[in-house]
C-alpha cells in the first residue's frame, strides 16, 4: 500500500534532545516531563502540560539513566523529586493512550477485530496495520502476515486489545490506512520501549 509506505516516517514535527542519551530525534519518539507544583516529576505523555519540559527517549533504560544520574534536575534547572515506579507510570499512561486511539479508530470504522475480519481486510489490502495479542497462539498468529509497506503491533495483551474493542479479549485486529492509524503506530512504538517483552519477535515493523 503506497499510502502506508509514504506515511512511515513523520517529518512534520520538531526534533528534541533526549537528556539521557544525548540523541536528537522527533518528538513523537520521546516522553516529555515537567516539574509539578511541588517539584515532583510528572510525565507529560500528550505534550501539553505548561512549564519548562525535558525529553527522554521512550525506553526503560533511558529513563533509568535519567533518574540515576539526576538528569531531570539538571535539565529543568531546579530541585525535583522522582517517585518510585516512574517507568511503570509512563507505561500505564501510554497504554491508556494506545487503547483510546484504537477505540476511536474502531468507532470511526477504521479498525476491525477477530480473525476472519482481519484476514478479510488483509486479503483486500484494506489494512495498513496488523495487531496481534502478545499472549495469543503463535500458530494462529502465524497465519496472518503484516501488510506490505505496513506495520505490525504485537506487544499488547489480549485483555488490553479487548478494552479497545469493547470485548473481553481480542487476538487479531487490523487498522485501515489514514485516520488515526499513524498516531496509533507512533504511540504503540513509544509503549513498546517501556515494555519488558518484545512482542514483535521476528516480524517486520517498518
**Domain edges within the chain:** 15-89, 101-194
The average confidence (pLDDT) of the chain is: 88
| Nearest residue to 21 via CA among 61, 53, 52 | 61
Report pLDDT for 25.
Answer: 92
State the pLDDT confidence band at 183, using cuts at 50, 70 and 90: very high
Across the chain, where does the E strand assignment appear?
A: 15-17, 24-26, 30-35, 41-44, 53-57, 111-113, 127-132, 151-153, 172-176
Task: Name the DSSP class of 147.
Answer: P
In CATH, what is the architecture of 15-89?
2-Layer Sandwich (3.30)
- 72-83: per-residue pLDDT in tens? 999 999 999 998
Cα Rg of the chain, angstroms: 18
> Candidates 3.30.1330.30, 3.30.70.20, 1.10.357.10, 3.40.50.720; correct CATH number of 101-194?
3.30.1330.30
State the pLDDT confidence band at 14, using cuts at 50, 70 and 90: confident
| Nearest residue to 43 via CA among 85, 101, 8, 13 | 85
Amino acid at each position: 500500500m503506497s499510502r502506508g509506505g509514504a506515511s512511515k516516517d513523520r517529518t512534520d514535527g520538531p526534533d528534541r534532545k533526549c537528556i539521557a542519551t544525548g540523541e536528537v530525534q522527533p518528538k513523537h519518539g520521546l516522553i516529555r516531563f515537567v516539574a509539578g507544583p511541588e517539584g515532583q516529576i510528572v510525565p507529560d505523555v500528550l505534550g501539553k502540560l505548561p512549564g519548562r519540559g525535558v525529553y527522554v527517549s521512550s525506553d526503560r533504560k533511558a529513563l533509568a539513566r535519567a533518574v540515576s544520574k539526576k538528569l531531570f534536575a539538571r535539565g529543568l534547572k531546579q530541585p525535583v523529586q522522582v517517585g518510585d515506579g516512574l517507568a511503570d507510570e509512563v507505561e500505564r499512561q501510554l497504554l491508556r493512550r494506545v487503547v483510546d486511539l484504537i477505540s476511536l479508530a474502531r468507532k470511526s470504522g477504521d479498525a476491525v477485530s477477530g480473525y476472519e475480519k482481519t484476514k478479510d481486510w488483509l486479503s483486500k489490502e484494506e489494512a495498513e496495520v496488523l495487531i496481534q495479542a502478545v499472549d495469543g497462539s503463535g500458530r494462529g498468529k502465524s497465519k496472518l502476515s503484516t501488510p506490505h509497506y505496513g506495520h505490525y503491533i504485537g506487544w499488547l495483551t489480549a485483555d488490553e486489545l479487548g478494552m479497545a474493542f469493547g470485548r473481553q479479549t481480542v487476538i487479531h485486529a487490523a487498522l485501515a490506512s489514514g485516520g488515526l492509524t499513524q498516531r496509533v503506530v507512533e504511540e504503540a512504538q513509544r509503549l513498546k520501549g517501556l515494555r519488558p517483552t518484545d512482542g514483535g519477535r521476528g516480524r517486520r515493523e517498518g
